[in-house]
Structure 1
Amino acid sequence: MSWTEVRRDDRIVEWERSDGNATIRLRRGPNTWHVRFDRLHQSPEGRGYEGEQFDDEDVARDTVEAWKKEYDVGQE
């Protein structure tokens, strides 16, 4: 599966998995970066959610890339 950017504004970038059942969001807060993964109940893998906060933007973006690989269908 692939991930496509579906939202970008001054605070949030969000990617959707090509099956439409999962998203990853990078959000810039006032003092931290938040990365979250959200998978729908309807997904064949079932519901899933994970979220982490980071002080460093590079570490947050590295987490986005790692989760894209980790939560790709067939990779779990």
Structure 2
Amino acid sequence: MEWQRVQNEPTRVEWERGDGHARLLARETARGEWVVSLDRLEQAPEGSAYRHERVSDRAQATALAAEWRADG
């Protein structure tokens, strides 16, 4: 499924899946770490899901987000 970047700021990057049933967010925390989270709605064909992981920098966050987008 295709993903579209809907926000690209220095401290926050967000994508939405083409069907609108999933959002993926990479954001910087107050401590300077990055958090990547995936929220998939119950209406999604695969059902609901939530993933959340902390990484040390933006490069790692966007790489992890790319992996998760590839997974669906």
TM-score range, shorter chain: 0.7 to 0.9
Matched residues, percent identical?
37
TM-score between the two structures when normalised by the length of structure 2: 0.87
> Residue 42 of structure 2 aligns to a residue in which SS?
coil
Residue 37 (structure 2) aligns with? 36
Per-residue CA distance 1:25-73 (angstroms, 9 max, x = gap): 01111220000011001111111000001112211111011011012xx
TM-score between the two structures when normalised by the length of structure 1: 0.83
Aligned counterparts of 1:11 and 1:62: Cα–Cα separation in 2: 15
Please, which runs of 5 or more residues in structure 1 have no aligned partner? Answer: 72-76
Runs of 4+ in 1 over 4 A off after TM superposition: none
Please, which runs of 5 or more residues in structure 2 have no aligned partner? Answer: none
Residue 55 (structure 2) aligns with? 54
Residue 4 (structure 1) aligns with? 4
How many residues are matched? 71
